[in-house]
Amino acid sequence: MMNPSSNGWIKKYFSLVKKPEKLLSEFDLTLTPEEFIYGQLQPTGLMYGFPTNFIFLNPDETAHWSTEDKFKVLLLEGLMISDYAHTRRFDIEDIEKYLGRFISFYESTEIGIARRSWLNFKGLDVFGKLESILSQRVDIKLSLSHKLWTNYLHNSVVFQDLILYFEYYHGTHPEIIADKRRMVLLDMMKLMAVAAHADGEIANEEAALFDIFMASARLDDLDYREAQLFWNEQKTLNEIAFDYEMSWLLKRYFIEVATLVVWSDKVVVPIEQIFLDNLSEKLKVDEEEQDKSFIAIQSFVLNNSETLPFLSGKSEMEQLMVGATAKWKKILARNRDKLALELSQSKELVQLIAKSTSKELNEEEKVKLKRQFKDLAKTIPAFTLFMLPGGSLIMPLVLKLIPDLVPSAFRSNKVEKKKKA
């Protein structure tokens, strides 16, 4: 049994996960390294601050772990995935060199903290050093003014480490990364403040999210006051500079955290949607990318509705689904012509969708349907979701909407009843 609260847990982890490459979904050649990192880690909840699943471990074996322990192990798995996205291998045969890359990243890009604590390793081996770093990365000191979500009082911004490791691996100087870490964290807090105020009202859930992320960001005094100013004075999106180079993964992170804030009170009003549209335009993210972010968050929320703190009952889920269905209708409507063309060329897909509206598909049929949806992604970018882990969770909703959107494709397959004489 592995216990991340005790020394030696990383060695134990690698004794349980000996050949992680065999546990990965097939590396789709159409995905960039950043998309691969996102596709593997988004379903885990790490990027939202709600760790719910693991990449290489069985969830049943981790159900009793604290949230802090889950964060530690997921952060290790995230570093492994970020490394694998570039090297296409796990160097666990040379484990000390492999883990040493992660230690070097933290020591060189968090040098201020490293001098105060991490470098005081006193003879620890590479496993002990990384355990010490990961433990300190996920731990936060927090005194909440909003007493919500007490199980989630741990570092909610560690996903940023994986974005920066991506840049570190490509040779960006550690000092540049260290400075960028500070700027990104400050802009994240500004963005969350603007998102929470987008509709002119502050829900308890939005305030709680802001508090937790503020504690996680560990801003210095000057940056803390600036972020708090955005919250208190209701600053606007135009007042956030985003004055640094942004990767695809960082843009996606900003979009999805902002969307999560807007979603946290279960209702997305038109003015909040306008805010998200304006954010996408400011970050130079097109409408299709914004749709993918929405779909991915929806998939995560649906899959974890029983554990997410801002969903406490059936009524909250129903509230979210009303808005989600409306959004999906718009996404599919924009792709109506492409979808109609694809359906006209795939009799099997039409038959599977038609059957799914009246009865449960068997496992073989579900596999076929997912394969067909992956093919759709080649011409309809919104369907790229179904190429990623967790993507099939939203499939039942889409299957119900398609026959109403393109009814002609299904009418031609119906057997007309004989008229009575």
The string of pLDDT tens digits covering residues 229-249 is 999 999 999 999 999 999 999
Are both 343 and 325 inside the same structural domain? no
The more confidently predicted of residues 404 and 227 is 227
| Residue at 29: amino acid letter | L
| Residue at 337: amino acid letter | D
Residue pLDDT, tens place only, 60-119: 788 888 888 888 999 999 999 999 988 888 888 899 999 999 999 998 887 556 555 555
What distances in angstroms separate CA 199 from CA 202, 203, 263, 366, one per listed residue? 8, 10, 12, 40
Give me the number of domains the chain comprises.
2
Which of 332, 358, 390 terminates a domain? The answer is 332
Are both 290 and 235 inside the same structural domain? yes
Which of 332, 356, 372 terminates a domain? The answer is 332
Which of 312, 332, 352 terminates a domain? The answer is 332
How far is Cα 144 from Cα 325, in angstroms, rounded to an integer? 34
Residue pLDDT, tens place only, 312-353: 555 555 555 565 676 777 778 888 888 888 888 888 888 888
Are both 310 and 357 inside the same structural domain? no
Above 90 in pLDDT, residue 260?
no
- For residue 420, tell me if it sits in a domain: no
Are both 49 and 132 inside the same structural domain? yes
How far is Cα 252 from Cα 413, in angstroms, rounded to an integer? 40
Vertex 308 angle, CA 185 and 397, to 5°: 105
Q: What is the mean pLDDT of residues 194-219?
A: 87
- For residue 311, tell me if it sits in a domain: yes
- Residue 412's pLDDT is 57
Are both 106 and 146 inside the same structural domain? yes
Q: Is the pTM higher than 0.75?
A: yes
- For residue 2, tell me if it sits in a domain: no
Are both 321 and 339 inside the same structural domain? no
- For residue 421, tell me if it sits in a domain: no
Are both 194 and 323 inside the same structural domain? yes
Q: What is the mean pLDDT of residues 20-26?
A: 67
Question: Which domain covers residue 356, as residue numbers?
Answer: 335-411
Model confidence at 162, in pLDDT bands (50, 70, 90)?
Answer: very high
How far is Cα 164 from Cα 43, in angstroms, rounded to an integer? 20
How far is Cα 153 from Cα 141, in angstroms, rounded to an integer? 8
Model confidence at 387, in pLDDT bands (50, 70, 90)?
Answer: low
- Residue 421's pLDDT is 45
How far is Cα 397 from Cα 400, in angstroms, rounded to an integer? 5
- Structure tokens, 37: 């990192």
Q: What is the mean pLDDT of residues 213-218?
A: 86
Dihedral sign for Cα atoms in the order 146, 212, 217, 143: positive
- For residue 251, tell me if it sits in a domain: yes
Model confidence at 152, in pLDDT bands (50, 70, 90)?
Answer: very low
